[in-house]
Structure 1
């Protein structure tokens, strides 16, 4: 049954427009919406008929928003997010914070994260927390796909459709090197020394700006999907890898050593969620972070 939200518009058409505006690809939009590519086209055409003009320009090679589509997106995105939040607030008020909070994390589920989870579960015993480790190479994908409700990821976060909530911690960065590397005799390294080394970097789909932030080197290095792949390459001496102190402790190995680095920005984790996915569970967990860190 279609749900109208005013002016004859249907919520499913608006949802389809927002997803296609992010993906700019009918196939990927269909995957996210769990419908066929032809159904995405049908919903978009129906919305365009209601509006009275094209919102997307299509060709055999690309999909793009028209100028009207850009203006429509700018107005619709916050309004739609507010509508979803209002519905979720009403549901939460009726039943309390319950169900399941799916939480992704990068690096290590360290003591600070576990303290926040414990505080959240103590305050909301009707809500179960599930934690999922995210690939090093895809910090934002699970949030965008709806596979997790929120995620604790390494900054920076420049994605327009993601909300950055409370920050977890700022930690000095360490350089992971092979156990027989000459740097293992050093008490610290400089940023310039690190920049002269081949560093392990995240493979796509991690954004280019995010990859550069975590491998600030002038020398090309290998790209990996997971932290374990990066540490294995490090152990063989093929490259080095930057990790924050808690993550390096969590991933301690006899064939890898860690040396503190001076002059680099601290490694910082933050809670992120999709702008259309801000639920009372997510807000309650954000409060738990603020209260425990």
Structure 2
């Protein structure tokens, strides 16, 4: 199989049907000499003659007849597999696996519902991905697309609709001096050690999720972070919807004034983009509370 050329096989199959070098060239849109070249190359690869050539006719050798009988079904199966993959890439179907960090919130669920209504033949699975590894599941092919916290600067990933821009809050333990405050300033937040996502999250992404010069403990999941907050080990920045979803008696969420808003984005791998992924991205962008007008964008 080393160095096997499908063009040589195609040439042999057409020649076996036409039994004429000129007509074979016409069907393949190549010259008659090119047909001869392809056939000679295939025969050298096999190590035997497949075709008897005369000035008037072309016949297959016994080995050529046997090779034809074995090759035809295998070639047809290969062509069908390629066409099936192309059809799947062009169409919307199969199962779409969507990753999310922390919580599959109402906006994501509404997008999934709208996507199913538009494409009833497509199934969707929601998969939680680690807080500290926002891009790994997409890269490894474990999910087809993921909803992740911004920023996204990965060259092999496409950033689709950006949505859910919300004020950030800091989670602190109940009883913390800041727990009773209606809001904090950025300067006051600088006095709080912040729980940080652990690697393999990239350094630029980790820095945005935990800004400041007071490093707190590193965690891999959101629940680990909230548990450390409850134990008084530091604060944890969360967007307002995630904070609302994770209310607990031993943790208080305080808004922070002056920080850039948090945002979510849908990402997928550049080399595995399909029409199904694009259709889901359109469903996410179309949600009225899921994507602010003028904010949805794509990195190309």
Same fold by TM-score, threshold 0.5 exceeded? yes
Q: Which residue of 2 aligns with 1:291?
A: 286
Match of 1:153 in 2: 148
Is residue 2:177 matched to residue 1:182?
yes
Offset, 1:107:
2.4
Partner of 1:30: none
Secondary structure in 1 matching 2:234 = coil
Matches within 5 A, 1:180-219: 180-219=175-214
- SS for the counterpart of 1:108 is coil
* CA deviation after TM superposition for structure 1 residue 90, in Å: 3.4
Is contact 1:89-1:280 (8 Å) kept?
A: no
Supply the distance in 2 between the matched residues of 1:199 and 1:220 (Cα, whole angstroms): 6
5+ residue gaps, structure 2: 9-82, 291-300
- The equivalent of 1:256 in structure 2 is 251
**Correspondence for 1:280:** 275
User: How far apart, CA to CA, are the structure 2 residues paired with 1:191 and 1:119?
Assistant: 39
8 Å contact kept, 1:112–1:168: no
The answer for the alignment partner of 2:215 in structure 1 is 220
Tell me how far 1:4 sits from its aligned partner: 7.8
Residue in 2 that maps onto 1:127: 122
Separation in structure 2 between the aligned mates of residue 98 and residue 164 of structure 1, nearest angstrom: 22
Aligned counterpart, 1:169: 164
1:141-198 CA-to-partner distances (Å, cap 9, x unmatched) read 0000000000000000011111100012101000000011111111000111112211
Equivalenced residues, count: 214
Does residue 90 of structure 1 match 2:54?
A: no
| Aligned ranges 1:32-51 → 2 under 5 Å | none
Q: Secondary structure at the match of 1:285?
A: helix
Query: Matched residues in 1 for 2:231 and 2:117: separation?
Result: 44
Q: When the two structures are superposed, what TM-score results if normalisation uses the length of structure 1?
A: 0.69
Secondary structure at 2:224 match in 1: helix
Q: Could you tell me which runs of 5 or more consecutive residues in structure 1 were left unpaired when the two chains were aligned.
A: 9-85
Corresponding residue to 1:109 among 77, 88, 104: 104
2:113 match: 118
Q: Distance in 1 between matches of 2:203 and 2:99?
A: 21
Question: In structure 2, which of residues 107, 121, 136 is the aligned counterpart of residue 141 of structure 1?
Answer: 136
- Partners of 1:245 and 1:3 lie apart in 2 by 57
Q: Take 2:239 and 2:192, find their aligned partners in 1: how far apart are those partners?
A: 18
Alignment partners' CA distance in 1, 2:106 and 2:88: 32
> Over aligned residues, Cα RMSD in angstroms?
2.2
Contact 1:190 1:263 in 2 (8 A): yes
Cα pair distance change 1:280/1:258, threshold 3 Å: same
1:246 is aligned to 241
Which has the higher Rg, Structure 1 or Structure 2?
Answer: 2
Pairing of 1:69-84 with structure 2 (within 5 A): none
Q: Distance in 2 between matches of 1:159 and 1:149?
A: 16
